[in-house]
Amino acid sequence: GAGVSQSPSNKVTEKGKDVELRCDPISGHTALYWYRQSLGQGLEFLIYFQGNSAPDKSGLPSDRFSAERTGGSVSTLTIQRTQQEDSAVYLCASSLSLAGREQYFGPGTRLTVT
Amino acid sequence: GENVEQHPSTLSVQEGDSAVIKCTYSDSASNYFPWYKQELGKRPQLIIDIRSNVGEKKDQRIAVTLNKTAKHFSLHITETQPEDSAVYFCAASMGDYKLSFGAGTTVTVRA
C-alpha cells in the first residue's frame, strides 16, 4: 500500500517568509509525528498527534512553528517568519497506535531558507 | 527529557567483517529501543527494535542487545556487505511514542 507522503519534496524560501509543509500518513494510522533533521545530525522530535487527543508540542523550537492535523489524517507544519537556522529536512512519520509503535517515515521535505 | 548518545560517529569496516554501534540512554523508564537505517537521500527505515523485557534480539545478520542496568544497547551487523553502507540511528522512547534519537553512525563497508 501507499506509504507516508510529504510535499513539497524541496522548498527554497527567503528569510522572513512563511512556509507550509504537508504530510499524508498511511491510511488508518492514528499517530503522526514531525521530526527535523539538520545536516549530518540525528532526528529532533517536534510534535506528535494521536487521534483526537491534544497534540504534544513539546519539541517545537519556537512559537514560529505550529502544526495541525485535520480530520485525523493530513497534517501541515507551518513555519512563520523563517530563519536560516530553520533550514533542514522535515520528516513526518506515522504509526498504527501506541501499541504498534513502529514509525514509518515519509521522504521528507528539504527546506532551504536563503 | 531522554538523552541518547551514540558511538562511533563513523565506522569503516572490511566487507565480511562485523560492525558494532553502541548507544546509551539517560532515562531508566525508557522501554522501547528501535534502530533505523538511512541510506543517502532516503527516508529512515526501521531495521530492528527491542523492548525492555528482552535482552537480545536477532534477525538474520543483525542483532541488538540491551543492558537495562547499564542503560545501553548495541547493534551488531555480521558478515557486512556493501549494501549495509548507510547511516544508522538508535532511538529510545519512554513507554509512549516520542522517539529520542542518537546522532547517527555513518557505516562504510569497504569491498
pLDDT of residue A1: 58
What pLDDT score does B95 carry?
A: 63
| Nearest-CB residue to B89 (from A42, A50, A106) | A42
User: Measured between beta carbons, which residues in chain A are less than 8 angstroms from residue B45?
Assistant: 105
State whether B89 and A44 contact (CB < 8 Å): no
- Using CB atoms, which residue from A43, A58, A98 is nearest to B101? A43
pLDDT range class, residue A98, cuts 50, 70, 90 = low
Pairing of strands B105-110, B86-92: antiparallel
Model pLDDT, residue A53:
85
Mean pLDDT by 10 residues, chain B (111 residues): 93 98 94 94 93 90 96 97 97 82 96 91
Is B99 close to A106, i.e. CB distance below 8 A?
A: no
A102: pLDDT confidence band, cut at 50, 70 and 90?
A: confident
Q: Under a CB-based contact definition with an 8 Å cutoff, are residues B37 and B56 in contact? A: no
Q: B-chain residues within 8 Å CB-CB of A103?
A: 34, 46, 99
| CB-based contact A103 B99, cutoff 8 Å | yes
- Asked whether residue A100 carries a pLDDT value surpassing 60, the answer given is no
The CA angle A104-A75-A21, to the nearest 5 degrees, is: 95
For chain A, where are the alpha helices, taking DSSP H only?
A: none
Per-residue model confidence (pLDDT) at position A39: 82
Burial class (CB in 10 A: 0-12, 13-18, 19+), A49: buried
| Gap from A68 CA to chain B (nearest CA, Å) | 17
Average pLDDT, chain A: 92
Q: What letter represents residue B57's amino acid? A: K
Q: Which three cell numbers stand for residue B22?
A: 553502541
A108–chain B Cβ distance below 8 A for any pair: yes
Q: What is the pLDDT of residue B21?
A: 98
Find the helix or strand (DSSP H, E) in which B107 lies. strand B105-110
Kindly report, residue by residue over A25-71, the tens digit of the pLDDT.
999 888 999 999 998 778 999 999 988 888 999 999 999 999 999 88
